[in-house]
Amino acid sequence: MKLHASVVTKLLQIYTNFGGFSDERRLREHLEAVDLTVYERKTTQEQEMLLVLTEDYVKQLSGNKQ
């Protein structure tokens, strides 16, 4: 299973903002708060499982219903 590029971007943003302190409590709290959803990407003959940000997944679902 892979991480979607948006998840990597979010994690890097969290590390940049909250990493490097002697007390890693804030970094740990923000990393634990990241909500991920498994997304099954189907290509022509393969399927791939990705972890995506739940907020992005919900936005895509609600956008497709309009």
Q: Flag whether pLDDT at 65 surpasses 70.
A: no
User: 48, 4 in Cβ contact below 8 A?
Assistant: no
* pLDDT score of 38: 96
14: its two tokens: 């969290």
Largest CA distance in the chain: 48
The residues spanned by each domain of the chain are 2-64
- Output the pLDDT for position 66: 47
C-beta of residue 15 within 8 angstroms of C-beta of residue 6: no
Q: What's the whole-number mean pLDDT along residues 44-61?
A: 90
What pLDDT shows up at residue 64?
62
pLDDT given for residue 41 in this prediction: 85
How do residues 2-45 score in pLDDT, each as one tens digit? 999 999 999 999 999 999 888 889 999 999 999 999 999 887 67
